[in-house]
Amino acid sequence: MKLTDFPSDIRDLVIPAPAGEMLYRCLDCGNEHGINELLYVCPDCGSVMMLHETSNLAAKKADGPTWRKVLDHRRMLNIPALKGIYRYHEFLGPVVPLESVIYLGEGHTPVVEANSRLQELTGARFFFKNDGQNPSASFKDRGMASALSYINSLIQKGTMKEILAVCASTGDTSAAAALYASYLTEGIKSAVLLPQGKVTPQQLSQPLGNGAKVFEIPGVFDDCMKVVENLSSRYDVALLNSKNAWRILGQESYSFEIAQDFDYDMANMVVVVPIGNAGNITAVMNGFLKFLDAGIIETLPKIIGVQSHHANPVYRYYLEPDTAKREFKPVTVKPSVAQAAMIGNPVSMPRVINVVETYNRLSGQKNVFFMEVTEQAIMDSELIANRNGHIACTQGGETLAGLMEAVKQGLISSDETAVIDSTAHALKFSGFQETYFTGTFPPEFGITPNPELINAPEELKAEGLTEFPASGAPLTGEAFERFVRLSADAIAARLNLSRQT
């Protein structure tokens, strides 16, 4: 739709110009720092930071009902910069000019309702929000679009040049970083560090295909993270891990979209996310808090964070009901099929602690919950979901298992609706499905395949056939017709099909 066709009362608000004041705020000492420099941790105390818009821009521009109208009309615009996460420009990076925004098709991922069979099995009404349908096939694209658009604005202003973008990754961060960096060919190169043998071949192929320098490091993700942190503290590089507050900011779009897709009515809604480095759950809570503050939504949805029993530091922390007695202890992770969330010492833990407290307080009750699920439940749930028309990854299986656990604990009532996060595409993690189907999980996973969920290709060579087509050597004439007919009959026999009358 053309701007001139928009209602006159909102026409001036539909296309945003750069505005507002943004600062990094330290979650520990509370000091604030300007954004002209890329900072990852507080220069004063070393803690993680969050970005804040300090001029109250959104509230000054419009009230809640007006914002709803503006955002819904932005859906109809055909301006690339406003087609992705920057539909919510004022709530993400209002200082970023639209000319700097990199849009590669991220965000606005489908919300797909589970069929009645799956809802019955789960005991709750729910939708998958398929973040695997982002360009690099995971939600990390949201944060990368935000971080790289901001870096692009610094390059365009001339404050930064010759940037090396680096990250440590369980696979998906590096895929997203390499993709977005490769789009920005002027002045930016990317390098990624991966734990050797701990990412899937599909995930490895992504940064390689996008031309990033890929380093495989012995150890697990937490070890790679330490190397990258050291690198960024001593060399001039742009760190693209979720320590980078611009990443968290972009990922808030997930919540804005849920609000918009449910007509801003968040009463009786539950949002379920897997937790690894805990950046995503931080972003999801923060997004809803911002929309509440702007009057766009009136209720905060219930949040459920899910961890595997093989990588559960956040779950353990919140097991202690007494806030004063809670103490964070990193855990040593064990192998997990939810490999993208296999993290023992989450970088964003201070953010989680901070935002959970605010979220519960503004909800007027405890409204954030944490579930622990087994590796078996994760795998079984993923396979069951995909047998019912979904494209869930193993982390999507983890959220479904978490939803079922929450139902079992009586945390979800029959009038509630859940939106559960499938954070990546099933294809990225198809190796685990293969391992399940072939019954070859190493014992440390503790997974025994359920025969009812196993599937395998069957060879079909019809009895009585002696000649078969091969590539470069097709069958012809009577031999080909015989091959086609007898093969069809053999399939019909195996499937017990009845003949047409």
Give CA torsion, residues 224, 227, 233, 235, to 10 deg: -110
52: left (phi over 0), alpha (psi -120 to 50) or beta: beta
357 touches Zn ion by CB under 5 A? no
**Window 12 to 31, contacts with Zn ion (CB under 5 A):** 26, 28-29
Among 134, 280, 363, 399, binds ligand PLP (CB under 6 A): 280
Cβ-based neighbour number of residue 1 at 10 Å? 12
Burial readout 325-353 (b: 16 or more C-beta within 10 A, e: otherwise): eeeeeebebbbbbbbbbbbbbbbbbbbbb
320 touches Zn ion by CB under 5 A? no
Provide the 3-class DSSP secondary structure of residue 417. Answer: strand
Nearer to Zn ion, 47 or 299 (CB): 47
From the CA atom positions of the chain, what is the Rg in Å? Answer: 25
Provide the 3-class DSSP secondary structure of residue 336. Answer: coil
Among 1, 3, 45, 497, binds Zn ion (CB under 5 A): 45
Nearer to ligand PLP, 260 or 394 (CB): 394
Contact call for residues 100 and 152 (beta carbons, < 8 A):
yes
Provide the 3-class DSSP secondary structure of residue 217. Answer: strand
- Report the candidate in 103, 167, 110, 157 with the shortest Cα–Cα distance to residue 135: 103
Nearer to ligand PLP, 74 or 290 (CB): 290
Among 82, 311, 341, 371, binds ligand PLP (CB under 6 A): 341
Nearer to Zn ion, 28 or 293 (CB): 28
Partner in contact with 395, chosen from ligand PLP, Zn ion, none, beta carbon below 5 to 8 Å by kind: ligand PLP
Structure tokens at 166: 């680096």
Roughly what angle, to the nearest 10 degrees, separates helices 172-183 and 201-209?
20
Among 42, 292, 371, 403, binds Zn ion (CB under 5 A): 42
- DSSP assignments along 356-387, one per residue: HHHHHHHHTS--EEEEEE-HHHHHHHHHHHHT
275 touches ligand PLP by CB under 6 A? yes
From 74-82, 274-282, 284-292, 373-381, span contacting ligand PLP (CB under 6 A): 274-282
Nearer to Zn ion, 26 or 424 (CB): 26
Among 279, 313, 397, 402, binds ligand PLP (CB under 6 A): 279
Nearer to ligand PLP, 57 or 147 (CB): 147
Nearer to Zn ion, 26 or 270 (CB): 26
Contact call for residues 22 and 58 (beta carbons, < 8 A):
no
Partner in contact with 276, chosen from Zn ion, ligand PLP, none, beta carbon below 5 to 8 Å by kind: ligand PLP
Contact call for residues 46 and 76 (beta carbons, < 8 A):
no
423 touches ligand PLP by CB under 6 A? yes
From 40-48, 155-163, 273-281, 296-304, span contacting ligand PLP (CB under 6 A): 273-281
**Window 110 to 169, contacts with ligand PLP (CB under 6 A):** 138, 140
Give CA torsion, residues 176, 179, 181, 184, to 10 deg: -140
Partner in contact with 42, chosen from ligand PLP, Zn ion, none, beta carbon below 5 to 8 Å by kind: Zn ion
Chain residues that interact with Zn ion, rule: CB under 5 A:
26, 28-29, 42, 44-45, 47
Chain residues that interact with ligand PLP, rule: CB under 6 A:
138, 140, 172, 242, 274-280, 340-341, 393, 395, 423-424
